[in-house]
């Protein structure tokens, strides 16, 4: 293993459509805003890909010495939340809160760090109204009747730059099509008037009439509140580039703010050839997967592909990722059994050259994981050859690299998993056979000892004789 001097971190910027050197606005500090979820329903595994992707980015920025302020919002009032309230008869705020709790639980289950701040849209109405007022004063927004305020798209000449679209080719905005007073069908709503078929308590009194915030306005107001007029990274799923992020840029820059210096978007996790969508029912939720896989295995599946790639979900691919992770985990467990957790603890500077280069190259976790597997092969050889010094340092390096990805087995040791009860029973049976094998070897009955080992192997149980006694693993590498 070699450990080179660090090269600069480079990240793909959606706005410039190029990989750029990352230079933070303030040395040693990074402000990052990531669009969270609209909580009209429980989160699904597609949502969690975004959460894991930006959690890995945050961890890597921290490893590179940055103090990261990570803001991730919750959209708790929106057309979809209110529609769900009307459909179910439940209060809109109760629906939002219940699903927000499920989201927090899913994020924690997959080992994501808590954001520095997780603001709700409903808690920032004063900031939204101030932003609208500023846009109207600067000639970029207008009232279109009692309660409706629109952004004047034609007034912002760079509209469409993020998504590389021309204004003349754009379709009308979906926000209140046909509203009296709307100047251009492409203008989008900053504030929406009260509607008779929506919950009566979902509105605020404003100088323009009773209404509620538009989706795009919420994020601009909250990003400005916690990160200031200009910050480093704005992130989210690729599906948010247009219109959501395009509109955020327009209203924020039209207000005179620098806004985000880098735009990062994770690729979609598709199901049956299409984007996972709660409204279409084309989703797989986390509890369903937890019936068959451990949380750390699901995280490995989400974290291993490059964050910008499109991934087609299948249980087969998830199973392959779980098996690959268990092979790495098996090496770490064997090293800890020999040297202890303290002597294999990750240390700063223990990352190998290939891993460093991959992570600095637009967070290439696919290549980074490949480098971990290569180091694991070296570590397994060192263990087999009783090269304790090499095995110990290799284990520390592997744990350090896994830690950056949020996958250190020691951090996930307390996780339960499917089949735990069965594993306890299998462990007892295997140990009984191993005791019989030890007894046969003690009386030099090598034929019986070998036959017992071969019987276990045919059953999918592999035996490894170590200086500390025999240990068993399943053929797929799980212990």
Element (H, E) at 364: none
Residue 178 has pLDDT above 80, yes or no: no
Reading across the β-sheet that carries 274-275, which strands appear in turn?
274-275, 269-271, 311-312
Cβ atoms of 174 and 235 closer than 8 Å: no
Residue 10 has pLDDT above 70, yes or no: yes
Cβ atoms of 375 and 1 closer than 8 Å: yes
Which one, of 434, 439, 435, 436, lies nearest residue 457 by Cα?
434
> Pick the residue with more confidence: 462 or 336?
336
Residue 6 has pLDDT above 50, yes or no: no
- pLDDT-derived band at 4, boundaries 50, 70, 90: very low
Euclidean distance between CA atoms 205 and 189, whole angstroms: 16
Residue 1 has pLDDT above 70, yes or no: no
Q: Which of 13-22, 162-171, 214-223, 278-287 has the lowest mean pLDDT?
A: 278-287
Task: Please tell me whether residue 248 adopts helix, strand or coil conformation.
Answer: helix
Phi, psi dihedral angles at 214 (to 5 degrees): -80, 150
List the structure tokens of 132: 């609208």
Q: Per-residue pLDDT averaged across 194-211, rounded?
A: 95
C-alpha torsion sign, points 429, 434, 439, 441: positive
Cβ atoms of 379 and 433 closer than 8 Å: no
- pLDDT-derived band at 478, boundaries 50, 70, 90: low
Q: What pLDDT digit, counting tens, does each position of 17-26 carry? A: 999 999 999 9
CA dihedral 390, 393, 396, 400 (to 10 degrees): -110
Helix axes 45-63, 92-109, angle to 10 degrees: 60
Read off the pTM. Answer: 0.87
Work out the percent of the chain whose per-residue pLDDT is above 90: 76
- pLDDT-derived band at 467, boundaries 50, 70, 90: low
Q: What pLDDT digit, counting tens, does each position of 278-317 carry? A: 766 788 999 999 999 999 999 999 999 999 999 999 999 9
- pLDDT, residue 179, reads 63
Residue 2 has pLDDT above 70, yes or no: no
Q: What's the whole-number average pLDDT of the chain?
A: 90
- pLDDT, residue 458, reads 80
Q: How big is the chain by its Cα radius of gyration, in Å?
A: 27
- pLDDT, residue 426, reads 54
Euclidean distance between CA atoms 395 and 189, whole angstroms: 55
Task: Please tell me whether residue 243 adopts helix, strand or coil conformation.
Answer: helix
The owner of tokens 């001097």 is 5
Alpha carbon of 5 to those of 346, 347, 421, 449: distances in Å? Answer: 19, 16, 47, 52
> Pick the residue with more confidence: 346 or 120?
120
Other C-beta atoms lying within 10 Å of the C-beta of residue 456? 18
Euclidean distance between CA atoms 218 and 231, whole angstroms: 17
List the structure tokens of 463: 């035996």
Q: Which of 129-133, 193-197, 432-436 has the lowest mean pLDDT?
A: 432-436
Residue 3 has pLDDT above 50, yes or no: no
The owner of tokens 């600067």 is 138
Euclidean distance between CA atoms 301 and 365, whole angstroms: 11
């Amino acid at each position: 293993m070699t450990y080179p001097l660090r090269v600069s971190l480079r990240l793909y910027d959606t706005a410039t459509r190029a990989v750029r050197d990352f230079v933070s606005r303030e040395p040693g500090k990074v402000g990052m805003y990531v669009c969270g979820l609209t909580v009209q329903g429980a989160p699904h595994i597609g949502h969690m890909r975004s959460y894991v992707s930006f959690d890995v980015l945050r961890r890597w920025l921290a490893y590179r010495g940055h103090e990261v302020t990570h803001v991730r919002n919750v959209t708790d009032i929106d057309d979809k939340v209110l529609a769900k309230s009307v459909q179910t008869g439940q209060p809109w705020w109760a629906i939002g809160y219940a699903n927000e709790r499920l989201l927090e639980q899913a994020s924690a289950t997959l080992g994501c760090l808590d954001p520095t701040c997780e603001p709700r849209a409903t808690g920032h109405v004063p900031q939204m109204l101030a932003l609208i007022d500023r846009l109207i004063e600067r000639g970029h927004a207008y009232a279109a009747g009692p309660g409706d305020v629109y952004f004047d798209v034609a007034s912002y000449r760079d509209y469409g730059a993020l998504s590389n679209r021309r204004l003349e080719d754009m379709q009308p905005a979906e926000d209140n099509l046909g509203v009296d007073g709307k100047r251009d069908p492409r203008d989008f709503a900053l504030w929406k008037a009260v509607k008779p078929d929506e919950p009566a308590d979902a509105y605020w009194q404003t100088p323009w009439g009773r209404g509620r915030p538009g989706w795009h306005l919420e994020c601009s107001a909250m990003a400005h509140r916690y990160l200031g007029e200009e910050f480093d990274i704005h992130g989210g799923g690729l599906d948010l580039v247009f219109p959501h992020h395009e509109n955020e840029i327009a209203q924020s820059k039209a207000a005179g703010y620098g806004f985000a210096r880098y735009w990062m978007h994770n690729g979609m996790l598709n199901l049956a050839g299409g984007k996972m969508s709660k409204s279409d029912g084309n989703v797989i939720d986390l509890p369903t997967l937890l019936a068959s896989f451990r949380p750390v295995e699901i995280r490995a599946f989400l974290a291993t592909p490059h964050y910008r790639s499109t991934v087609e979900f299948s249980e087969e691919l998830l199973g392959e990722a779980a098996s690959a992770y268990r092979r790495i985990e098996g090496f770490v467990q064997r090293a800890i059994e020999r040297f202890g957790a303290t002597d294999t603890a990750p240390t700063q500077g223990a990352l190998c050259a290939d891993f460093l280069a991959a992570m600095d190259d637009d967070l290439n976790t696919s290549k980074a994981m490949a480098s971990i597997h290569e180091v694991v092969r070296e570590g397994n050889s060192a263990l087999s050859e009783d090269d304790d010094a090499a095995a110990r340092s290799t284990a520390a390096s592997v744990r350090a690299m896994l830690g950056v990805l949020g996958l250190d087995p020691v951090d996930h040791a307390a996780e339960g998993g499917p089949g735990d009860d069965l594993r306890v029973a299998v462990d007892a049976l295997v140990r009984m056979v191993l005791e019989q094998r030890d007894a046969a070897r003690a009386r030099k009955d090598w034929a019986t000892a070998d036959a017992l080992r071969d019987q276990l192997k045919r059953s999918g149980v592999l035996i490894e004789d170590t200086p500390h006694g025999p240990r068993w693993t399943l053929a797929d590498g799980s212990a």
